[in-house]
Amino acid sequence: MLLLAGPTDTGKSTLALRLLEKAKEAYLLDLDPGQGALPGAFTLFHYREGTLTPLRRYLLGALSPRGMEAQAVVGALRLARLIPKGSPAVADTDGYLDPGFRLLQIEALVPAEVLVLGWEELYQALSWRRDLRARLAPPLQGVRRKTPAERRKNRLERLLAHFQEARPRPLPLGHMPAYPMEPPESQRLYGLLDGEGFLLGYGRLLAWAGDKGLFLTPVGEEVAKVVPTRLLFPIPALPG
């Protein structure tokens, strides 16, 4: 596995796609919960002949691993274990600039190589290691820095695409912790998990009574658990 690390807007995602194109068939471990494929989640993709197919998702439930570092490491490791041994893979990480967290993530994933884009501090923390190949490279040329508004717009577009085929569905709320608050919030997204703890997709709570809830969700599979997230989706209507 090649792990890409560095600040935001240094070209990690662009480089990951270029590398996949050269490999023709490989795996992509999307570990950016803020600007990745599905906000608030990690996704494992299979890449073949120009097509990315999502295989499994892990719910982080936030747009950054800050304050959720242990869960983020566990999620990345669970997805990485699904990659067939010996298969080429690229891990595209987020721009959270905490060397301690990134080093912990690297120790868990055990990549064959780490390419650090524009982050001297992390490179220096790795360069002395004999058991790990680390390289430092400048940010990709031509990468434009996105504004906060553009980032919010990108996240909203991806969530809208996720809900494109959404339909109302009754689901048991079950025993949920007081986090984020009680009673349940209609503007907060809920993660719908399968029996192995992987994310099937999101649901937006339309109505509830007792331990039952009516969710707007694109998920049609069997749901084992409903989990509240830190993600808000404050719009009056969704597709479907």
Cis peptide, bond prior to residue 218, ω within 30 of zero: no
CATH (domain of 129): 3.40.50.300
Domain containing residue 31: 2-137
Give residue 181's pLDDT: 44
The answer to whether the CB of 98 falls within 8 A of the CB of 106 is: no
d(Cα 146, Cα 72) in Å, to the nearest integer? Answer: 24
Cis peptide, bond prior to residue 88, ω within 30 of zero: no
**Final residue of a domain: which of 104, 137, 170?**
137
Residues 65 and 170 in one domain: no
Residues 133 and 156 in one domain: no
C-alpha 96: how far from chain center: 13
Q: Residue 145: inside a domain, yes or no?
A: no
CA-only gyration radius of the chain, Å: 19
Residues 132 and 156 in one domain: no
Residues 29 and 118 in one domain: yes
The three-class DSSP label of residue 57 is strand
d(Cα 225, Cα 174) in Å, to the nearest integer? Answer: 8
Residues 129 and 163 in one domain: no
Give residue 48's pLDDT: 94
The answer to whether the CB of 232 falls within 8 A of the CB of 189 is: yes
Residues 120 and 7 in one domain: yes
| Residue 128 in tokens | 């002395």
Give residue 84's pLDDT: 96
Q: Which helix (H) or strand (E) holds 217?
A: strand 212-217
Work out the burial of residue 185: count CB atoms within 10 Å of its CB; fewer than 13 is exposed, 13-18 middle, 19 or more buried: middle
Total domains in the fold of the chain: 2
Q: How many CB atoms lie within 10 A of CB 55?
A: 15
Q: Residue 147: inside a domain, yes or no?
A: no
d(Cα 160, Cα 139) in Å, to the nearest integer? Answer: 30
Mean pLDDT in order along the chain per 10 residues (240 residues): 95 94 93 95 95 97 95 98 96 95 96 96 94 94 87 91 94 63 67 97 90 92 94 60
Q: Residue 187: inside a domain, yes or no?
A: yes
CA angle 139, 143, 147 (to 5 degrees): 115
Q: Residue 84: inside a domain, yes or no?
A: yes
**Final residue of a domain: which of 106, 137, 168?**
137
Query: How far lies 146's CA from each of 11, 92, 98, 222, in Å?
Result: 12, 18, 21, 38
d(Cα 137, Cα 16) in Å, to the nearest integer? Answer: 14
Give residue 227's pLDDT: 92
Residues 18 and 119 in one domain: yes
Residue 115 has what DSSP assignment? Answer: E
Residues 218 and 164 in one domain: yes
Residues 126 and 204 in one domain: no
Residues 27 and 69 in one domain: yes
Residues 162 and 68 in one domain: no
